[in-house]
Structures are given as structure tokens and as C-alpha cells.
Amino acid sequence: MWQAADKLRGSMDASQYKEFVLGLVFLKYVSDAFVDRRAAIRADLEAEGASEQNIKDTLEDEDEYTGENVFWVPAEARWDFLAERAAGGRIGELLDAAMLAIMNGNARLKGVLPMIFNRDNVDQTRLAGLVNLMNDARFTGHAGKSAQDVLGEVYEYFLAKFAAAEGKRAGEFYTPASVVRLLVEVLEPYEGRVYDPCCGSGGMFVQAGKFIEAHRGKTHKADLSVYGQEFTERTWRLAKMNLAIHGIEGNLGPRWADTFADDKHPDLRADYILANPPFNMSDWARKSEDKRWKYGVPPQGNANYAWLQHILYKLSDRGSAGVVLANGSMSSKQSGEGEIRKSMVEADLVSCMVALPSQLFRSTQIPACLWFLTKDKTSRGGKLSDRAGQVLFIDARNMGTMVDRTERVLTAEDLAKIAGAYHAWRGTASAKAEGAKYEDVAGFCYSASLEDIRKHDYVLTPGRYVGAAEVDDSDDEPIAEKIDRLTKELFGLFEKSAELEKVVREQLGRVNV
């Protein structure tokens, strides 16, 4: 399917063909799922001995599909109908009509699907070829996986591929999967309201849903209420499709909008917030009198502390947040940022700081970190360890594995180590179930008091607190003795080498004779 996507590369840039290909992928999926559901309805009715007229009527009952979480697909939007007409020169017109028909038949897709196939700049021959190539793709019939699961994997794979193709611009819609997983594994969002103020293509929500599925089963995905906002129209549409693909009901606002200038969820107070805001954004809608700036007015030249304070404003009284930001946010003192950070620390809102390894983000070479914020670090009636007045620092800069020359990923073991340290420190139910006890580990993690942080002038860089890893020197011998021993071993090897050289010369001499 990715090879099929390349068919349109020559006629448009990566950001444009992303919409084309993902729109077609979605259309193919909903059609496959619809056809499978249609076959299942017929088989059930025939087994019951229903009349042909009864079967025909039931097959056209939209509730028979939507009740099983299958989108209703009108006849003119079904893939077979479109594929048969791909070579007629009107495929763009037919695809736009198909997208409109599906949106009209499914309320949660209103205004979401792309109607961009019948434009003058679209090569209709290439588009017809793309439709034909996608004919071989089937989202149904895979053992052990539903069509929704398969499409979800395809969609995520494509997003990652498009992110690689778009480079720096990819940061608008894509956060590396291992970083998203780390945020979710640390926060453990089992139920409640989850919010992302700059949701991109919705990856945070998808991963939160997967977390619940893995720990409590698919039926519990509905325990999370999803809220998000996105600035760009194209990305907002991608997110809406992504949620629909994964069976997640989400409120991303009635349309795209700037979170700072036009908050689409003004009254929301979330239990969990997951976010990867644009790093060091200098062009943002700043109003100095904004009620969100409780800890200080952020500078116009950098929105990092605007994002942090917006997120704190949105948290419920016991809410927690995980935020990806540039490393500079941990130590900057320019334009009052140091004072804002000091106020946040003194208000005991910072729970954990994680320094990330380099090269996790294809879209930027700026080093990144994770901020974990919470409104309540007390024991909450004995359910957790009381960490009031403390901050956990984790240095993960040496973790991760290079998957190619330019990209690093955090492995499952890395994620478990980082999340496990946090859970042991916080005394969560998952840590108690495993009998995990927190201990400082030199070079990796350290639980600092507010007094420790004051001594460092409120700089939150983990390297300042965790120290250097301990070196095991229990088997070391005195240096003088080691040099003497190794020297004797080296001279012994020289002697053995001379003996072997003599033998080789003798053998070669016999050969020459």
C-alpha cells in the first residue's frame, strides 16, 4: 500500500498526497467492513429461513450496520462501484461524491473526509492507477485481527512514513510512537477525561485507548472521554479520521482553531493531559491579562511556558499531565521564564522530569524532555506514596536503540524502566502489585526535595540531580600490579608470536624446496 501511495508523489508534495492516500485508505476500509457486515447479515437471515424480500429490506437498514460499529456506506461510495469506473476519466468526481455520501450517512464523519480528488491539479490517470492498486488491499479476513485493528496499524504506519517524508513539517501532526507510549505508560489513564490542546493527528488518544485495551479490554475504551484541539484544518481532519478508525468517540471541537486565541473547551478540567506542543514557538496569540497565566506572563518570543500554564489551568484538582518540550524549558531564565518555573515548583506542581535521548524526533534535532505535572502529590488517603515537596528526576539520555542512521526509538525495556521508576516512586497500584520499591539510582533517577531544587536555582535538568552512575570496581587490582601483570602477559605473547613465525618460515622453506 505504501508503494501504491508513491503513485501520486510526482504530482504533489508530501503534505498533499498524505490527504489523498489516507482518505482512500479510509474509504477502502469502510467499504470492506460494510461488505463483510452485509455478508454476515445475509448469512444469518438465510440460516433463519427469511424470505428474499425480508433479506433485501434488512440489508438496507442502516441500524444493522451502525449498531455493530460499522459505518453506513451508500451504493455510490462502495469500493467495487468506484473501482469498476476508475478508468472512465471521472474517478475524481466519483471519489468526491463518495466522500460526501459517507459523511451524509454518518454524523460523526461530518466535515471530516477529504473532497479534493476532482481538482485541476490532480492527475486523474495517476489517481485511477492508485485506486486500482488499492484493489488488492483487504482490511478484513486477517486471522486474529479485526478490520479496525488492521486499518489502525496501516494508518499509523502511513503517518510515520509521511512524517519521515515531510521532515520538519511533520512535527505538526506526528509524535514518535515510543514517546507517546512513554507518556501513557507513566500516566496510566484508565478512566476519566483526557485532553490534548495540540492534538495533531490524535496519536495520544489512540495510544491511551490501546493502553486501556491491553490492561482492561476493548470494552473499557469508553471509560475515557476524549477532548482535543488542533490549529490546522488538514491535521484536524486527520485526527478525526484517526479517532473514527480506532473506534474512539472524541470531541475535537466543531472546527480547527488556535488554542491560545480560541479555546474550544473553555470549561474543561481534565483528569489527564497528554501534549507535544510546538517547541519554542515565537509566533503565538499572547494576551498579557489572560487568566491562565497564574504563575507569570509568558514571553512573546517563546510559548513553552504558555503551554505549561494552559495545561495546568486545564487540569482537574487531582489531574496529571505529561508534556514534551525542548530541553531549554528546564533551565531558561530569559524573559521571566525562570521566575515562572520557580513559581510552579514552589506551588508543588512538578511531579517528574525526564531527560530524553537524542534523535527520537525526525522532525527536529532540538533535544527534548518530558514534564510530568500534577495538582496533588499527597497520598490521597493512602492509595499512593506521599510525595508532596518532592520531584523525581530521571536521566534517560543514554537509553534507546538506533533503528536507522537518523532515528532512535525507546524499546519496551526502556519504557518499562522509566515508567517503573515513576510508579515505584509514586506508589501506584501497578507498582504495589509487582512489589516494586523506589530507590535512587546514581546516573538514572533521584528524588529531590524542594530545598535541593532551590539550591540549584530552580533549574530542572535531571543531570544536575542524578549524579554519575556508580562504577563496579570490586574486582579491580592495584594499578601498579595490573600494569606489571599485563606487561608480562604481553611479553609472553611476543615470545609465542616469535616461535610461530619461526615455524611458519620453516614450513614455507620446505614448500619452496
Outline where DSSP puts E strands in 113-253.
192-196, 224-228, 250-251
Radius of gyration from C-alpha coordinates of the chain: 29
In Å, how far from its chain's centre is CA 372?
A: 16
Indicate the pTM of the whole model: 0.84
Burial of 144 (0-12, 13-18, 19+ CB in 10 A): exposed
- Greater confidence, 348 or 119? 348
For the chain, the maximum distance between any two Cα atoms, rounded to a whole number of angstroms, is 101
What is the per-residue pLDDT for 48?
94
Q: Does residue 100 contact residue 57 with C-beta atoms inside 8 Å?
A: no
Q: Where are the alpha helices (DSSP H) in 188-287?
A: 203-216, 233-245
Indicate if the pLDDT at residue 73 is higher than 90.
yes
User: Across residues 184-201, what is the average pLDDT?
Assistant: 95
**Which of 51-55, 87-91, 293-297, 444-448 has the weakest average pLDDT?**
87-91
Indicate if the pLDDT at residue 358 is higher than 60.
yes
User: Across residues 387-407, what is the average pLDDT?
Assistant: 93
Query: Residue length, the chain?
Result: 513
Q: What does the mean pLDDT of the chain come to?
A: 89
Q: Which three cell numbers stand for residue 292?
A: 491562565
What is the per-residue pLDDT for 487?
87
Packed helices 91-105 and 124-134: angle between N→C axes, nearest 10 degrees: 60
> C-alpha angle 418/422/426, rounded to 5°?
170
User: Across residues 92-105, what is the average pLDDT?
Assistant: 96
What is the per-residue pLDDT for 152?
77
Provide, for the chain, the percentages of residues in helix, strand and coil under a 3-state DSSP scheme, each rounded to the nearest 5. Answer: 50, 10, 40
Q: Does residue 289 contact residue 267 with C-beta atoms inside 8 Å?
A: no
Question: pLDDT tens-digit profile of 199-253?
Answer: 998 999 999 998 998 888 877 788 899 999 999 998 899 899 889 888 888 999 9
Going by the DSSP 8-state scheme, the letter that residue 107 receives in this structure is: G
Question: pLDDT tens-digit profile of 129-168?
Answer: 888 878 777 777 777 777 777 877 888 888 888 877 776 6
User: Across residues 301-315, what is the average pLDDT?
Assistant: 97
Pairing of strands 250-251, 350-355: unpaired
**Which of 79-83, 163-167, 183-187 has the weakest average pLDDT?**
163-167
Query: Phi/psi at 330 (nearest 5 deg)?
Result: -80, -20
Indicate if the pLDDT at residue 51 is higher than 70.
yes
User: Across residues 95-107, what is the average pLDDT?
Assistant: 95
Buried b / exposed e along 331-353 (16+ C-beta atoms within 10 A): bbeebebbebbbebbeebbbbbb
Q: What is the 3-state secondary structure (H, E, C) of 190-213?
A: CCEEEEECCCCCCHHHHHHHHHHH
Which residue(s) pair with 449 in the sheet?
390
**Nearest-angstrom CA–CA distance, 354 and 343:** 20
Q: Which three cell numbers stand for residue 494?
A: 611476543
User: Across residues 354-368, what is the average pLDDT?
Assistant: 86
Query: Phi/psi at 440 (nearest 5 deg)?
Result: -60, 140
Q: How confident is the model at residue 1 (pLDDT cuts 50, 70, 90)?
A: confident
Closest CA to 200 of 164, 159, 254, 247: 159
User: Across residues 457-467, what is the average pLDDT?
Assistant: 96
Question: pLDDT tens-digit profile of 468-504?
Answer: 765 544 455 677 777 888 888 888 888 888 888 888 8
Question: pLDDT tens-digit profile of 403-437?
Answer: 888 789 999 999 999 999 999 999 999 999 999 99
User: Across residues 333-348, what is the average pLDDT?
Assistant: 97
What is the per-residue pLDDT for 259?
97
